[in-house]
Every structure is written in C-alpha cells, then in structure tokens.
Homo-oligomer: A and B are copies of this chain.
Amino acid sequence: MHFTSEQRLDDDVLEREFLLGEIPGALWMSGSATAPVPLILLGHPGGLGKMHPRLVARALGTVAEGYAAAAIELPGAGDRPRLAGVDEARADLQRAAKAGEPVSDEIVDRLVLPLVEQAVPEWRATVDALQSLPEIGGPVGIAGGVTAIGVRMAVVEPRIAAALLFAGSYVPRSMFAEARKITIPLHVLLQWDDEGNDRQLALDLFDAFGSEEKTLHANMGGHTGIPRFEGEAGNRFFARHLK
C-alpha cells in the first residue's frame, strides 16, 4: 500500500488516498489522535468517485466518534476492470425489475458471488495494510455496503469484531449457511417501506444470522430515507463493541 495524496478536510480530519496494488482507496483519520484508534471499514455500492461526498460525510462522523475510517473501490467498479459476468447479471436484474418480474436466485448468484469472491480478500488485505500503521489498532468494524461482502467478512476475518449491515437486497440464498456461522454482534438496518427490497428475504436473513447479539432496526422512509437518529444508534453499537 502506498499513499498517493493527503488533504485536511477540516481542522482535524485528514483524508489520505492510497493504492493497495491496483486498488484505490481512502483513509480518514484524526490528525490529533495520540493513541491508535480502531478501524471501521465503510462499505458502499461501488464507485469511489461518485460516492465520495457521501463517504466523506460518513467518514467525518466516524472519525468524530474516535475511529479511523477506510474504503476501497469494489471489484469492477470505478476505474477498475469490469467484471463481465457481474455486468451481465446486473443487466439481467434490471431487465427483470423493469418487467416487474421476480429476480431469480440464479441472477442474484451471478451478480453477487463473484463480487464477494474477489472483494473479501481485498478487504482483508486492506485490513492487513491499515493495521500495520501505528495510528490504527484494536478490533475492526464494518459499516454498510454490499451486505453479502459483510456477511463473508464476518465469517472469515477474525479481526472483524462488529458489523453494521443493511438487511436485504441481493444476499444470495446460497450464502444463508454462512450467515448462520456468524457469531459477532450485528446491527442490522432495514427500510421497511423500501419497495425495491425483498422484505421477507431481509427478515429471513436476520433470522439466519447466528450471532447471539443481533439487533434489527426497521424504519420507514423508503430506500434512501434512513432516519438521522440511526446514525447515533450505529455509533452506540460500535462504541459497545470496538472500544
């Protein structure tokens, strides 16, 4: 990993862009922290450039709570090489959605599984690289992003101590067996009136999670209308488990 740029976002927060091999990423941390802080990986739907304003907003909140925040580009997104099969599956999914047809498990598998296969080793390598920095230490959290990546990370990466996941969309049924293996605390968000989300699948997924501490927060407000107070709830969840 090497850092490619550095800028101060406000009086305290430093944004550092990096390359991990060919994968672009960004790290946000306090410029004034005097001891190592826990890391929270910020998930996102892909496209670091397009997502940048929203990621910065989340990162500022995360750093203010006493963590470092980091995000890397998803496989096939932004300027990274396309994943042909995933692009095709996405087109099939959009076709089905437009036609008002149910999205088949087969399409979801083709869309999500290759992404998970490639992204999880990359996220783990990111943890390796960032944990080697003197400014970062302690347990690692995951916040949001592609739920299936969070599920796999929670199972295979022992440094992940807590995960905040979005319930639902497009977690392959074939990954429910993995969901049952999760033991770390989970904080799960569900937008109850998100018509593009399969609510029953979301509830089934929550049910499947093996964790002894798992909490589902369901709210109204549509796909993008997560209430502001859920930000605080997420902070308290991480404070219980990363500090």
Contacts of A229 in B (CB 8 A): 236, 240
A97 within 8 A of B: no
Could you say which of B203, B212, B220, B236 contacts A203, with CB atoms under 8 Å apart?
B203
Q: Choose among A203, A218, A229, A232 the residue with the greatest number of B CB atoms under 10 Å from its CB.
A: A218
Q: Which residue of B lies closest to A240 (CB)?
A: B229
A16 within 8 A of B: no
Size band of the A side of the interface? 20 to 34
Could you say which of B192, B216, B219, B232 contacts A207, with CB atoms under 8 Å apart?
B192
A6 within 8 A of B: no
Please tell me if the beta carbons of A214 and B206 are within 8 angstroms of each other in the complex. no
A227 within 8 A of B: yes
Please tell me if the beta carbons of A216 and B192 are within 8 angstroms of each other in the complex. yes
Contacts of A217 in B (CB 8 A): 215-217
How far is it, in angstroms, between the C-alpha of A220 and the C-alpha of B186 when the chains are bound?
A: 11
Q: Which residue of B lies closest to A211 (CB)?
A: B220
How far is it, in angstroms, between the C-alpha of A217 and the C-alpha of B219 when the chains are bound?
A: 9
With A229-B236, A240-B229 in contact, do A206 and B220 touch (Cβ < 8 Å)?
no
Instruction: Give me 26 A-to-B residue pairs in the complex whose CB atoms sit less than 8 angstroms apart, sorted by A's number.
Output: A192-B206, A192-B207, A192-B214, A192-B216, A203-B203, A206-B218, A211-B220, A212-B220, A213-B220, A213-B227, A214-B219, A214-B220, A215-B217, A215-B218, A215-B219, A215-B227, A216-B216, A216-B217, A216-B218, A216-B219, A217-B217, A218-B218, A229-B236, A229-B240, A232-B236, A233-B233
